A and B are shown apart, each in its own frame.
Chain A
């Protein structure tokens, strides 16, 4: 098709495709004319001047026979001019040059026009893709955040309530004190420590009390065997081995042992200066032990912790503790040399 324009058409938009040059009326989109690029013979620029806008002049070839009817039947001109009123001439010229060079219409059949003139539009589509994904991730993160905060909201509310409950039970416990043992032990069993109890008996729970009684039963015989004293670590091993299942934690063991005295059980938890903890029979008398230690040492002239342990059937740890205690009391003195640590009767 060849279109010869003698007259100005209204303002429109020039679109360039790989196959065609298209013009569309900016007001009436129905009005649209197209021309195959193959019809272009040559084209040239006309620079803008004063009062003149930039133009592209497109010279066309002779009309082919199968041309469809266009806006005009005849024209004496063999060229058309695209007048760029605002802008775009340079870009359009460049693209037209490109298309005319590549002649893509020769390779692929004409199909729907692909808008390639306005690059920014295509760019926006791409941005939507990545930005969209990012936005989705952000939204999801915010959602998760909100969920977590809401969940913890409930928990902090619960904790506030629990605190109020504890306060309430404490005030009740304070009021009744020793008068009503029943309610107090009930509160204790709920795990809410009674301040009075904590001061006098150590903070205990029903569980620890039961445990303490159990330990008393379990440990009587072993303690007798071992001269009335056992390291807490030995107790831990012994008890847990006996229980088999439902093992005790070290904390529970210590807490139970702390209750011996308040429960009037004949066992005591004792801590040495060195930090070693032992369980000993209440009947165990320290003075007796030290006196006997002194006898042993005097007998042999001097003893090491190992020798003493062997003599008494005690563990080395405990025998050393006893010797150290005797030294502390001034009954023994030490000889520290490359041969090892020996204890002598204090002759000073």
Chain B
């Protein structure tokens, strides 16, 4: 299924950071949504800022408009505030994109665990992300760092406990 672009993507003003405050809020919301859905569609978990500028997300060749570097930074900052983005370095050149927040992942995983009635069992991280049983689940193929964060979120919620074992980490769900 090819990615469906939102209507704003063909609207030239979309690529100019709007000075009117109210208009800008709506614009940024649309950008965040677009960026996240694009990453979700292509299963992108990290973004390089330099590459992003050339990526079709921020660069619509058809209408010959692209977001300025300044505007991209503003969008990323907005994502970070919402909890969907984490900078990997101080220079803000690479970031982790969490098109689903850790809490949301955690919830999904816990739901599945409850569904199959395996609460109080211990799972290895590998089992969760790459096990045969989880194939078809959305969190299948989830990258380790993301999975860990999700479980940490559950842990903070009291719904799981991360256990360190000889050959890696495991988790017990409550």
Contact = CB atoms under 8 A, between A and B. Distances in A.
Nearest to A302: B12
A337 B16 contact: yes
Contacts of B65: 335, 337
Contacts of A346: 20, 23
Contacts of A334: 13, 16, 18-19
A170 B7 CA distance: 67
Interface in A4-51: none
Contacts of B23: 327, 330, 333, 346, 348
A337 B12 CA distance: 9
Contacts of B12: 302, 335, 337, 342, 344
Nearest to B26: A348
A344 to B, nearest CB: 5
Interface in B1-25: 7-8, 11-13, 15-16, 18-20, 22-23
Interface in B103-147: none
Interface string B21-44: 011001100100000000000000
A328 interface: yes
A344 B7 CA distance: 15
A330 B13 contact: no
A148 interface: no
B22 A330 contact: yes
A330 B16 contact: no
B75 to A, nearest CB: 15
Nearest to B65: A337
A91 B64 CA distance: 107
A242 B115 CA distance: 89
Contacts of B11: 344, 347
A322 B125 CA distance: 61
Contacts of A328: 20
Nearest to A347: B11
Contacts of A342: 12
A334 B15 CA distance: 9
A34 B117 CA distance: 153
Nearest to B66: A337
B110 to A, nearest CB: 37
Contact of A344 (B13, B19, B26): B13
B19 A327 contact: yes
A328 B27 CA distance: 15
A347 B23 CA distance: 9
Contacts of B22: 330
Interface in A295-340: 302, 327-328, 330, 333-337
Contacts of B18: 333-334, 348
Contacts of A302: 12
A333 B26 CA distance: 12
B20 A333 contact: yes
A157 B16 CA distance: 64
B128 to A, nearest CB: 40
A337 B67 CA distance: 10
A343 to B, nearest CB: 9
B31 to A, nearest CB: 11
A328 B15 CA distance: 18
Contact of B15 (A330, A335, A347, A348): A335
A11 B16 CA distance: 114
A327 to B, nearest CB: 6
Most A CB within 10 A of own CB, among B11, B18, B26, B65: B18
Nearest to B21: A330
A348 B16 contact: no
Contacts of A347: 7, 11
A126 to B, nearest CB: 81
Contacts of B13: 333-335, 344, 348
A344 B65 CA distance: 15
A297 to B, nearest CB: 12
B27 A348 contact: yes
Interface of B: 7-8, 11-13, 15-16, 18-20, 22-23, 26-27, 30, 64-65
Given A330-B23, A335-B16, A344-B12, 16 more contacts: A327-B19, A328-B20, A330-B20, A333-B16, A333-B18, A333-B23, A334-B16, A335-B13, A336-B16, A337-B64, A344-B13, A346-B20, A348-B13, A348-B18, A348-B27, A348-B30
28 contacts: A327-B19, A327-B20, A327-B23, A328-B20, A330-B20, A330-B22, A333-B13, A333-B18, A333-B23, A333-B27, A334-B13, A334-B16, A334-B18, A335-B13, A335-B15, A335-B16, A335-B65, A336-B16, A337-B15, A337-B16, A337-B64, A346-B20, A347-B7, A347-B11, A348-B13, A348-B18, A348-B26, A348-B30
